């Protein structure tokens, strides 16, 4: 059974840019090695993440993430069973330096969430829009 969790969180104030890049790159590496797909974005002091994969792997990973003191205000948007196989790898990106909304990138991110059912896709799309534009 595959499972997906989507959440947003606030990065700790003292978190250096280099530390954030390290989180993004180590997550990408571990997730790709463990068949975890999804998206991790950092923008304006906040994280937005989708993790999708084998249920136990995802719930254990989320416990780790929850306990990580590099961020707080972890707000889970949903956690649900997924009935379609993921088809893409893991994306980790820094969007804070983007002064404008890049439709191509947005479309690319949307492709990452195609494993979700329609209402969930819509919800994530709206959050992504808010996350990337403001």
Ligand X SMILES: Cc1cc2nc3c(=O)[nH]c(=O)nc-3n(C[C@H](O)[C@H](O)[C@H](O)COP(=O)(O)O)c2cc1C
* Cα separation values, 40 from 22, 80, 128, 132, Å: 12, 18, 11, 12
Asked whether position 79 contacts ligand X by CB under 6 A, the answer is: no
Q: List the one residue out of 5, 94, 79, 2 whose CA is nearest residue 45.
A: 94
Asked whether position 64 contacts ligand X by CB under 6 A, the answer is: yes
Record the tokens describing residue 115, joined without a space. Answer: 């494993």
d(CA 40, CA 29): 12
Asked whether position 23 contacts ligand X by CB under 6 A, the answer is: yes
String marking each residue 35-54 x if it binds ligand X according to CB under 6 A? -----x------x-x-x---
**Minimum distance from CB of 103 to ligand X (Å)?**
25
Among 2, 6, 8, 27, binds ligand X (CB under 6 A): 27
Which ranges constitute the DSSP H helices of the chain? 17-33, 55-67, 103-112, 118-133
Binding residues with ligand X: total (CB under 6 A): 15
Question: Dihedrals φ, ψ of 68, to 5°?
Answer: -75, 120
Nearer to ligand X, 78 or 104 (CB): 78
Stretch that binds ligand X, among 65-73, 75-83, 102-110, 113-121 (CB under 6 A): 65-73
In the complex, the residues that contact ligand X under the rule CB under 6 A are 9, 23, 27, 30-31, 40, 47, 49, 51, 61, 64-65, 68, 70-71
């Amino acid at each position: 059974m595959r499972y997906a969790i989507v959440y947003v969180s606030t990065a700790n104030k003292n978190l250096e840019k280099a530390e954030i890049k390290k989180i993004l790159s180590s997550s990408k590496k571990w997730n790709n090695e463990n068949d975890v797909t999804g998206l991790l974005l950092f923008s304006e002091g906040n994280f937005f993440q989708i993790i999708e994969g084998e249920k136990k792997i995802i719930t254990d990973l989320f416990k780790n993430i929850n306990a990580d003191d590099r961020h707080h205000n972890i707000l889970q948007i949903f956690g649900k069973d997924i009935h379609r196989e993921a088809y893409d790898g893991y994306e980790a990106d820094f969007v804070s330096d983007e002064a404008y909304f890049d439709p191509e990138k947005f479309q690319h991110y949307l492709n990452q969430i195609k494993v979700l059912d329609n209402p969930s896709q819509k919800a994530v799309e709206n959050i992504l829009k808010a996350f990337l534009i403001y």
